[in-house]
Structure 1
C-alpha cells in the first residue's frame, strides 16, 4: 500500500497562533497539518524529519495591509509571509497574481473614492489604470456590486482629505460612506476604511466599518479608543514612520544581512527612498500613533499587523517583521504581536483554514531560530518557509 511522504517537525517550540508549546511534534501531509502534540508519531523512512530543538515553528504570517504588484507575492513568501491582504490594486492584474508561487492573495481591488480623491495619485503616477469612482449615496450599491463581481474579497473605502500630509484632496461625504458600508454588509462582506485622523476614524466607526487600515496620527482621542472595541485596527507603524517620522526604518532593513539577499532591486530602491514629500501645513504626530496603539491594546481592541508595502520605505515581507518589532516597542507582548500577524487577521477576515498551527489547517509554516515569543527580532532568523506543506526555496 502506498503511504505518502510526511513532513515532521520534532521537538520544536510551537507558537500556535494563540499559545506557545514549549516542545512539541508537528506532522504534515498533503499540505495539511495532521498532528500537533507531545507524542512523536511513527515515521517511515521516506518521511522528512526536521529537528526543531532551539527553534520555533510559527503559522505562516499574514500581512493585513499591502498593495501588490508582480513579484511582490514571491518576495513576501521568502520572509514567511504566506498570505497577503491587498488593500487596493488593479483588479485585472490582481486576478493574474492569484495562484502564484508566492504568498496567497486576497484583495480589495478598486477602493472607493471620489473623482480626483485620495488614491487617484496612483493613476497620475502610472501605477494604476483609471478606475471607477463615486459621489452620491445612490451610486453606492452599484459600485459595491461591481467590485465583488470583478473579484474583490472585501471593500476598501478611502476617507482622506489630505490634511495629515498637507496635500488637500476631495473626499467622500459621510452619507455615501454609510451607503457603501451598508451595501457591503448586505452582501456579507467586510469593510476596511483608510482613515488617518481621529475624525475620519470615528466616521468609519459610526457607519460600521469592520477594520481601520491605519491608526490615526493627528491627535489623541481617549474616548475613541474605547469606542473602537468591536473594530479591528491595522496600525501600520512602519510606514507611518516613513511618511511622518525620520524615515530610517527602511534603510535599516535594507542593510540587514537577513533581509538584503532576498530583496528585488525594486524593493531595495523603495526601502532606501525618501523622505515622503509633505505639503505645507501637514498635520500629524507620529508619537500620537505609537501611544494610541498602546491605548488600543489596553482597551482590548483587536490589532492586526500590516506593512502597507508598496510604499516609500517598505518592502513586501521584510517590513512586516519590522512592524512586529514596532508593535512590541509600542507595548504589545511578543505573543500578542505574533497573534496580530497570524490568528487575529485570520479570524477578522474569515480565513478559517490558516493563521494557526492545528490539525486540519493549511500547512503554511515559518521556522525560525530562537524564540520570537521572548525576542521578536528573531522572526527574521528564518530557517525555512512552507506553503501548503511545500518548502519554499530561499536561495
Structure 2
C-alpha cells in the first residue's frame, strides 16, 4: 500500500540527538511533513502537533545499509522494521532493481533503495557461476576495455545509481574464475565517472583490493579477507581516498557460528524477525558447517583488521551487510545490520564511530546529501531508541519510534505473542 506523509507536525522533546557525528544532549526536534523543520532547545510546538517525550532516549538519523542485494519489497519492509531507512543495493537483475526503486519511491512503509543494476564482470567471471546453477538469470559481461563505455551507458539506461565491479578470482569459493584486466576495470571506472556514477568493487582478497585501488575505484564493497593485509595496501587505500564496507556479518555467515545466532535470540529483535528467516536459521544451525559452507578461503578477522587499520588512518568506513538471505546463508535484511554494528565495535570502533558508519558516512560516500544526519531541511528519516547507543551499540536495538520521510512507521511484530507465550512458560 502507499502511505501518506504525516498531516500534522511532530515535536520530540528533550531527547539526546546523535546527529550523524556527535551526541547532543536534551534537544527538541520538529518534524513537519517529510523533513526535519527545526532542531534546538525549547522549541515551540505548532498548533495541532503531536508531542513526544524523548527524555532518556536517543534520536538518530535513519540507518543506511551500504551493501545489500534486494529482490523483493518484503526485504525492504524487513529492513525498515529494524531502523534501516535506506539500502544501497550492490547488483542484481535490472528489472528487479527498477521495480524495487519504484516501490520505494511510492511507499513510506519500505526502506528507500539506491541500485547498481547489473554488475561488471568478465565473461564467465563471478557471479556467472550462479547462472550455471540456475540461481540468477544470464546477464551481460565485459570482454575488454573497448566494451566498457557501452556497458556503463547501458547501466545508466537501466536506472543505475552507482556501478558495481566484480574483481573475484575464486579464492573465496575455492573455484578459479576469470578476471577482467586492470585496463578494463580502469575503463569502466572512467566511463562511470564521466556519467556521474560512483564505483564500488567486490574485493574479498588483498590482490583484488589493490587492483581496485590502483584502477581508481571509489570504494571497496568488502574488506580483504584472504590473509593479513600488509601496510602497503593499507596506505594505498588511504592515499587513494577510497571508502570501505567490511561486511563482517556476511563473512561470519561463512563460518560455523554466524553472528545471526546471537541476534535471533535478542528479545529486542526477535519479535520483528521474518518467521521464514528464523525457520531457515534453525535449519542452518542443524546443518554440518562443512557441507553448508564448502571451501572458503577468507576469514572475518583479516577483514576486520584491514578495515580498522584503514579507518584509523582516515579511510571512511561504512556499515553494510551484503544482506541477501536464502541459499544456506544466514545474512539477511534488517536484523543482520545490528550484528554488523556489534562486530564493528568488537573489531575496535567505538559505538559512536559505528553509528557514524551507519548514518553520515554512507550518505557522504554515495552523495545522499538529504539524509544520514539530523538537521533542518533534511529528510525526516529518524529512529528513537531507549538508552544511549553511543555507549552501548546494542541500545540501537530498542527502537521506540521510527519515521520514514516524516511518516511514523507501524512496526508490526508477527512473533511478539509467540515470544510472550515462551517467556510465560
Normalised TM-score (structure 1): 0.95
The CA distance in 2 between the partners of 1:42 and 1:174, in whole Å, is: 58
Shift of 1:328: 0.9
The CA distance in 1 between the partners of 2:116 and 2:279, in whole Å, is: 26
Select the structure that is richer in helix.
2
Q: How does 1:178-327 map to 2 (within 5 A)?
A: 178-219=186-227, 220-229=229-238, 230-243=241-254, 245-272=255-282, 273=284, 275=289, 276-279=292-295, 282-311=296-325, 312-327=329-344
Q: Does 1:74 align with 2:77?
A: yes
The CA distance in 2 between the partners of 1:270 and 1:292, in whole Å, is: 31
The CA distance in 2 between the partners of 1:361 and 1:126, in whole Å, is: 43
The CA distance in 2 between the partners of 1:156 and 1:84, in whole Å, is: 15
- Aligned residues of 1:241 and 1:247 also touching (Cα < 8 A): yes
Matched pairs, number: 389
Q: How does 1:66-145 map to 2 (within 5 A)?
A: 66-70=68-72, 71-98=74-101, 99-100=103-104, 101-145=109-153
Shift of 1:88: 1.0
Measured against aligned partners, the alpha-carbon deviations of 1:283-312 in whole angstroms (never above 9, x if no partner) come to 333322222222122111100000110041
- Aligned residues of 2:249 and 2:258 also touching (Cα < 8 A): no
Shift of 1:125: 4.3
Structure 1 residue matching 2:30: 3-state secondary structure: strand
Measured against aligned partners, the alpha-carbon deviations of 1:308-336 in whole angstroms (never above 9, x if no partner) come to 10041212011111111111111111111
CA RMSD of aligned residues (A): 1.7
Unmatched 5+ stretches in structure 1 = none
Shift of 1:128: 2.6
Normalised TM-score (structure 2): 0.88
Shift of 1:270: 5.0
- Aligned residues of 2:251 and 2:299 also touching (Cα < 8 A): no
Q: How does 1:305-384 map to 2 (within 5 A)?
A: 305-311=319-325, 312-384=329-401
Measured against aligned partners, the alpha-carbon deviations of 1:67-105 in whole angstroms (never above 9, x if no partner) come to 001111011000010000000121111211223330001
Measured against aligned partners, the alpha-carbon deviations of 1:174-222 in whole angstroms (never above 9, x if no partner) come to 2211111111111121000000111110100011100100000112221
The CA distance in 2 between the partners of 1:166 and 1:234, in whole Å, is: 23
Structure 2 residue matching 1:10: 3-state secondary structure: strand
The CA distance in 2 between the partners of 1:122 and 1:386, in whole Å, is: 37
Q: In the alignment, which residue of structure 1 is the partner of 2:421?
A: none
Q: Does 1:64 align with 2:78?
A: no
- Aligned residues of 2:29 and 2:40 also touching (Cα < 8 A): yes
The CA distance in 2 between the partners of 1:261 and 1:122, in whole Å, is: 33
Structure 1 residue matching 2:17: 3-state secondary structure: strand
- Aligned residues of 2:11 and 2:45 also touching (Cα < 8 A): no
The CA distance in 1 between the partners of 2:60 and 2:129, in whole Å, is: 38
Q: In the alignment, which residue of structure 2 is the partner of 1:388?
A: 405
The CA distance in 2 between the partners of 1:234 and 1:72, in whole Å, is: 20
Match of 1:53 among 52, 55, 58: 55
Unmatched 5+ stretches in structure 2 = 1-6, 413-425
Deviates more, 1:285-294 or 1:270-279: 270-279
Structure 2 residue matching 1:157: 3-state secondary structure: strand
Q: CA, structure 1 residues 116+247, in 2 after alignment: closer, same or farther (shift >3 Å)?
A: farther
Shift of 1:269: 4.5
- Aligned residues of 1:167 and 1:278 also touching (Cα < 8 A): no
Shift of 1:113: 1.0
- Aligned residues of 1:32 and 1:361 also touching (Cα < 8 A): yes
